[in-house]
Amino acid sequence: VQLQASGGGLVQAGGSLRLSCAASGRIFSIGAMRWYRQAPGKQRELVASITSSSTTDYADSVKGQFTISRDNAKNTVYLQMNSLKPEDTASYYCNALIQDYITRPFRDYWGKGTLVTVSS
């Protein structure tokens, strides 16, 4: 199982980006999916999460600014980021709980980070 994140890049303050993260490989079921970010010199922080039934939760710092969604048919989670600020600059990582076979437990998988740079 692999998670492939994409959509990062350089954007001016006030702009928008949409991150995607697709899970591939042997997948039976996907549980919660999350986006984390890590800015230089800071700890990784949870940005947003979405359950298998699409219940969402957000860090206070991004409420009303970011929207997480998922397409279960495509095994993909998205993060729509609007009104971006320089302090949103970070590497963004996707995370998912994935069951690769019906008799096996869910396991934690991580994608490689995608860099988001917001210029002032």
108 pLDDT tier (thresholds 50, 70, 90): very high
pLDDT value of position 60: 97
Tell me which residue has tokens 């949870």: 46
4 pLDDT tier (thresholds 50, 70, 90): very high
62-88: b (≥16 Cβ within 10 Å) or e: beebbbbebeeeebbbbbebeebeeeb
pLDDT value of position 29: 96
Kindly state the average pLDDT of the residues 39-64: 97
pLDDT value of position 22: 98
Kindly state the average pLDDT of the residues 62-89: 97
Kindly state the average pLDDT of the residues 46-56: 97
Q: Which residues contact 5 (CB under 8 A, 6 or more apart)?
A: 19, 20, 21, 92, 93, 94, 111, 112, 113, 114
Kindly state the average pLDDT of the residues 18-39: 97
44 pLDDT tier (thresholds 50, 70, 90): very high
Assign 87 to helix, strand or coil.
helix
pLDDT value of position 25: 97
Residues in the chain, how many? 120
Q: Which residues contact 44 (CB under 8 A, 6 or more apart)?
A: 36, 37, 38, 93
Kindly state the average pLDDT of the residues 4-13: 97
pLDDT value of position 83: 98
